[in-house]
Structure 1
Amino acid sequence: MNEAPRVAHILEATVGGTARHLTEIGCELAGLGIPQEAILSRRAEESFAGRAERLARAGVRITWVPMTREIAPGADLRALWQLIRCLRRSRPEIVHTHSSKAGILGRAAAVLAGVPVLIHSPHAFPFQMRVGRARRALYVALERAAARKTRCLVAVSHAERDLALSIGGYPEKRTVVIENGVDPEGGASPQEGEALRKELGIAPETPVVLFVGRLVEQKAPDVLVRAAARVLGAHPEALFLLAGAGPHFDAMQRQVALWLTQGPPGANPERIRLLGHRQDVERCYAAAQLFVLPSRWEGLPYSPLEAMRAGLPVVASDLPPLREMVIHRQTGLLVPPDDPEALAAALSSLLSNPEWAHAQGRAGRARVCERFSLRRQVEQLALVYRTLAR
């Protein structure tokens, strides 16, 4: 078999970190000479158009198939049939599915199309979400069934692999951890950060607390705003920037004003700004002093890695995947999820001690450069492909 196997990626979740993951690895793998096809959902949001174009420019063939996020038997069967046709036409040696919906439909299609090697990357399992017991049981049962046909589960964190092993279906020898990575030399310069601060009218002495992520339940922006109201009572000079969009953006704007009126004196609504989706997110990191991510569940998100690369201390939820990135009191602070008071206390402690915050930021950058490089991630994945395709 060819030393560089043909790989077909299948992805329905064309927003957020999963889309970023596929774009990064797809372009880098193409540079290593691995031929690839990306089969993507037609529900792709506008923000993904640029990522698809970037993949195409790198030499990745793009194929569009309509897939829906929710369980929809009729639409799912039509998507399954189209996926089978795509795979029979392109005849890849490996199908690599990403996230939950593509993980089920894509692996089923690969089996029916006779693809020899199936690889799956969960990017957080659906049964981690806040769902009822019946739906959680369904998600677990589907994952167990798909696991039996999966040659390798590629987890982005040890916590994700442990969760996969805990539900049964995946022998440990058929799992591997390949952590997400970033280009250590990427990001924006301090001068670019200063320019953004001027554009946004931020005074040089203002400490900026940055959140980057979609405004969805998983990322807990509601918890962040409640914590921000407490922080601003003690640190009225601080400014919170929330960079990200989502289906509830307008509702979030209304809630910001509501929560702040219920907060302590000094919680000025103008000190929390919702920036929406930003194409220049790297400049946002360069303009900030602290980074915060109060997620309720995660795989291994990119935003803390980007923040650490920019030299920012990270305040994040104490979740197993985030513990693999953030070392408590060395590169940032970890707090219980869904706890605005604990989150506020952690942010306030760093705002009150900027030298300590700077030291943690420097340690975080060193950690990213040492352990979480994109090149290392892609080389490990290419080795998995070549090993399984022999």
Structure 2
Amino acid sequence: MPVPPSLPASRPRVAYLITNSEIGGAQTHVADLLTALRGRIEPTLLAGGNGPLLDHARAAGARTVRLPLLDNALSPLRALAAFRQLLGALRAAAPDLIHTHSAKAGALGRVAGWLLGVPVVYTVHGFAFKAAAPARQRLAARAAEWLLAPLTTRLICVAQAERELAASLPIAASRISVIRNGIADTPARAAPHAPLRRIVMVARLAAPKRADLAIRAFARAALPDCELVIAGEGPQLDALRTLAEAVAPGRVRFAGAVADVPALLASAQAFMLASDHEGFPLSVLEAMRAGLPVAASDLPGIREQLEDGACGLLVPGNDEAAWAAALQRLAGDAGLRASLGQAARARWAREFGLAPMAEATWAVYQQALAGRRPAARAAARSKASGT
């Protein structure tokens, strides 16, 4: 594996840690940060799996370390083995700062940072102790976040709704920042005023996403000459294929891991995202950037994105009939599709570009490293490397 040349010592070494390198919102967020902050930092990506994020990171000039034992398995023994592997990788990387993403990586990374004397920034892409989460998961997640909060140098929430949840944790408000997700622009644009021929949903095929609800609602809406394209991979794929063939045979296409999501969105006339709970989903921002009308679950983070429904349709709960009605409304009104798409694109341009997110994140890095003079950073690197 080629290693990019060393950067000047004045640039902080930042280790990005994420549980899985597969395609997903958090992974796209990390890839965008690596690209936007290139030249300011000396980055290393540490990730489980063998997904495309590793390639994106290398293209952005980052060193990459694959952690084969890091995954979403619930086994304590495997988590311990993954932690030992992570400690070794961090000692070799000797970072000035660790930036963790996703729950398991966020947990292991904060403990590792505490042991190595390295500050940790944790971006929570959506707390798992929301009321909509299963009770056992909710209790376990709250307990873990409560215990790990004191080990968090800085906490980044991607939506104001997540910040409100963080208020229940034992971490000072001064160490919490709200940095809403942002994405870079692309030239790909949709034509939502055209006849409705394609609706797209981009999501990992696993909880909390509700591709099953999307399929049932699409079938119930009975839209003539229209297909539903679901882009993404995940453990529910086989079950979803079976469901689609049962309720909407030949009308639902599973596109898998799409390399060019902007092009796919530009080929559609509407976008939908059904989910039990969310943080601040990038897929909705991608649809807004494309100028697509959005129908999405009425959840706090999505409300922030769609300005309380000013530039999209918010669908309550898991009401299949309400979802079908929303799709029928979009199908029957080309003017509505066009106006919502135009409003969504304008809001994205005002609020959700990549540069503001990157600048705000860079400011958090500086705050996390504040007071760590070069000598202190060198001592921490020495501790991390075991020398």
TM-score tier, shorter chain, comes to 0.7 to 0.9
User: How do 1:313-324 residues align onto structure 2 when only pairs under 5 Å count?
Assistant: 313-324=293-304
The CA deviation at 1:135 is 4.2
The yes-or-no answer on 1:245 pairing with 2:233 is yes
- d(CA) in 2 for partners of 1:126, 1:85: 28
The yes-or-no answer on 1:344 pairing with 2:324 is yes
The yes-or-no answer on 1:22 pairing with 2:22 is no
1:205–1:140 Cα change, 3 Å: closer
- d(CA) in 1 for partners of 2:252, 2:19: 33
1:256–1:134 Cα change, 3 Å: closer
Confirm or deny: 8 A CA contact 1:187 1:309 kept in the other structure.
no
SS in 2 for 1:112: helix
The CA deviation at 1:230 is 1.7
Confirm or deny: 8 A CA contact 1:122 1:155 kept in the other structure.
yes
The CA deviation at 1:272 is 2.5
The yes-or-no answer on 1:188 pairing with 2:196 is no
Residue type matched to 1:175 in 2? I
The CA deviation at 1:245 is 2.2
SS in 1 for 2:74: coil
- d(CA) in 2 for partners of 1:305, 1:131: 23
1:131–1:327 Cα change, 3 Å: closer
- d(CA) in 2 for partners of 1:188, 1:371: 19
The CA deviation at 1:134 is 4.2
> 2:107: which partner in 1?
104
- d(CA) in 1 for partners of 2:237, 2:130: 24
Relative to structure 2, which stretch is displaced further, 68-77 or 367-376? 68-77
Structure 2: stretches of 5+ with no match in the other structure = 1-8, 371-387
SS in 1 for 2:271: strand
The CA deviation at 1:311 is 0.8
1:273–1:91 Cα change, 3 Å: closer
- d(CA) in 2 for partners of 1:243, 1:132: 25
SS in 2 for 1:139: helix
The yes-or-no answer on 1:38 pairing with 2:45 is yes
SS in 1 for 2:126: coil
Confirm or deny: 8 A CA contact 2:109 2:120 kept in the other structure.
no
Residue type matched to 1:347 in 2? L
The CA deviation at 1:56 is 1.5
The CA deviation at 1:301 is 1.1
Cα offsets for 1:338-361 (capped at 9, x unmatched): 111111111111211111210110
> 1:264: which partner in 2?
none
> 1:88: which partner in 2?
91
Cα offsets for 1:192-247 (capped at 9, x unmatched): x99xxxxxxxxx84532111112223210111111111211xx3233222222222
User: How do 1:194-233 residues align onto structure 2 when only pairs under 5 Å count?
Assistant: 205-232=195-222
SS in 1 for 2:99: strand
1:326–1:354 Cα change, 3 Å: same
User: How do 1:121-136 residues align onto structure 2 when only pairs under 5 Å count?
Assistant: 121-128=123-130, 132-136=134-138
> 1:197: which partner in 2?
none
The CA deviation at 1:330 is 2.4
- d(CA) in 2 for partners of 1:189, 1:357: 14
- d(CA) in 1 for partners of 2:334, 2:217: 19
How many residues are paired up?
A: 359
Confirm or deny: 8 A CA contact 1:285 1:310 kept in the other structure.
yes
Residue type matched to 2:46 in 1? I
> 1:201: which partner in 2?
none
Which ranges of 4 or more aligned residues in structure 1 deviate by more than 4 Å? 129-132
Residue type matched to 1:100 in 2? A
> 1:58: which partner in 2?
60
The CA deviation at 1:257 is 2.2
Aligned residues with identical type, % of pairs: 36
- d(CA) in 1 for partners of 2:134, 2:333: 43
1:363–1:3 Cα change, 3 Å: farther
1:122–1:87 Cα change, 3 Å: same
- d(CA) in 2 for partners of 1:187, 1:276: 23
Cα offsets for 1:239-273 (capped at 9, x unmatched): 2222222222222111112234xxxxxxxx23322
- d(CA) in 1 for partners of 2:230, 2:140: 35
Cα offsets for 1:310-333 (capped at 9, x unmatched): 111110000000001013442111
SS in 1 for 2:44: strand
The yes-or-no answer on 1:143 pairing with 2:145 is yes
- d(CA) in 1 for partners of 2:159, 2:11: 26
The yes-or-no answer on 1:312 pairing with 2:323 is no
Q: Normalization by structure 1: what TM-score?
A: 0.86
> 2:12: which partner in 1?
5
Give me the CA root mean square deviation.
2.1
SS in 2 for 1:316: strand
Residue type matched to 1:241 in 2? V
Confirm or deny: 8 A CA contact 1:165 1:172 kept in the other structure.
yes
The CA deviation at 1:3 is 5.9
